[in-house]
Amino acid sequence: MATLWAKDTLTSKKIEHFTTGKDRELDLYLAPFDILGSMAHITMLETINLLSKEELQILKNELIALYLDAKNGKFVIEKGVEDVHSQVEFLLTKKLGDVGKKIHSGRSRNDQVLVDLKLFMRDKLEQVVNQTQLLFDLLQQKSEEYKDVIFPGYTHYQVAMPSSFGLWFGAYSESLADDLNPLLAAYKVVNKNPLGSAAGYGSSFPLNRTLTTQLLGFETLNYNVVYAQMTRGKADIIVAQALSSVAYTLNKLASDAVHYVCQNFDFISFPEELMEGSSIMPHKKNPDVFELIRAKTNKIKALPNDISLLTTNMPSGYHRDLQLVKEYILPAFDELIMCMDLTIEMLSKVSIKKDIAKDEKYKFMFSVERVNELVLQGVAFRDAYKIIGKEIAENNFKIPDTVLHTHEGSIGNLCTNEIKALFYDGIKAFNFNKKNIAIEKLIGS
Region 191-216: mean pLDDT is 96
Residue (of 128, 118, 124) closest to 192 by Cα position? 118
The rounded radius of gyration (Å) of the Cα atoms in the chain is 28
Pick the closest to residue 200 from 320, 57, 316, 116 (CA basis). Answer: 316
Helix, strand, coil share (%) of the chain residues, nearest 5 = 65, 5, 30
When mean pLDDT is compared across 15-24, 61-70, 394-403, the lowest value belongs to: 15-24
Q: Which of 378, 375, 343, 333 is nearest to 240 (CA)?
A: 333
Task: Kindly report the pTM of this predicted structure.
Answer: 0.92
The 10s digit of each residue's pLDDT in 49-79 is 999 999 999 999 999 999 999 999 999 988 8
What is the rounded distance in angstroms from the CA atom of residue 74 to the CA atom of residue 286?
39
Mind listing the pLDDT tens digit for each residue in 68-120?
Answer: 999 999 999 888 888 899 999 999 999 999 999 999 999 998 999 999 999 99
Q: What percent of the chain has pLDDT over 90?
A: 81
Question: Please, are residues 23 and 178 in contact by the beta-carbon 8 Å criterion?
Answer: no
3-state secondary structure (DSSP) of residue 164: strand
Contact between 66 and 88 under an 8 Å Cβ cutoff? The reply is yes
Distance CA 375, CA 400 (A): 14
User: Which pLDDT value is given to residue 199?
Assistant: 92
The closest of 187, 186, 192 to 218, measured between CA atoms, is: 192
How many CB atoms sit inside 10 A of residue 265's CB?
16
Q: Percent of the chain beyond pLDDT 70?
A: 95
Asked whether residue 402 carries a pLDDT value surpassing 90, the answer given is no
Confirm if 381 and 134 have CB atoms less than 8 A apart: no
Q: Which CATH number fits domain 13-104: 2.40.30.20, 1.10.275.10, 3.20.20.540, 3.40.50.410?
A: 1.10.275.10
Question: Residue 156 carries which DSSP code?
Answer: T
CA gap 26, 228 in Å, rounded: 22
> Residue ranges per domain, the chain?
13-104, 109-358
- Of the pLDDT bands very low, low, confident and very high (cuts 50, 70, 90), residue 127 is very high
pLDDT band at 321 (very low <50, low <70, confident <90, very high): confident
Q: Determine the pLDDT at residue 416.
A: 96
Which is nearest to 13 in space by CA: 25, 4, 28, 3? 3
Give the CB-side neighbour count of residue 379, counting CA atoms within 13 A. 15
Give the three-state DSSP class for 203. coil
Nearby residues of 333 by Cβ (< 8 Å), 6 or more positions away: 121, 124, 125, 127, 128, 243
Q: Pairing mode, if any, of strands 192-193 and 220-221?
A: parallel
Q: Could you please state the CATH topology (level 3) that the domain comprising 109-358 is classified under.
A: Fumarase C; Chain A, domain 2 (1.20.200)
Cβ atoms of residues 339 and 298 within 8 Å: no
Does position 189 have pLDDT exceeding 80, yes or no? yes
With a cut of 90, say whether residue 286 has pLDDT above it: no
Orientation angle between helical segments 288-301 and 303-310, nearest 10 degrees: 30
285: left (phi over 0), alpha (psi -120 to 50) or beta: beta
Average pLDDT over residues 416-430: 97
CB 135 within 8 A of CB 343: yes
Beta bridge partners of 221: 193
Q: What is residue 176's predicted lDDT score, i.e. its pLDDT?
A: 98
Closest CA to 234 of 111, 334, 118: 118
Same fold: 13-104 with 109-358? no
pLDDT tens, residue by residue, 147-180: 999 999 999 999 999 999 999 999 999 999 999 9
CA distance 255 to 435: 37
pLDDT for the residue numbered 8: 54
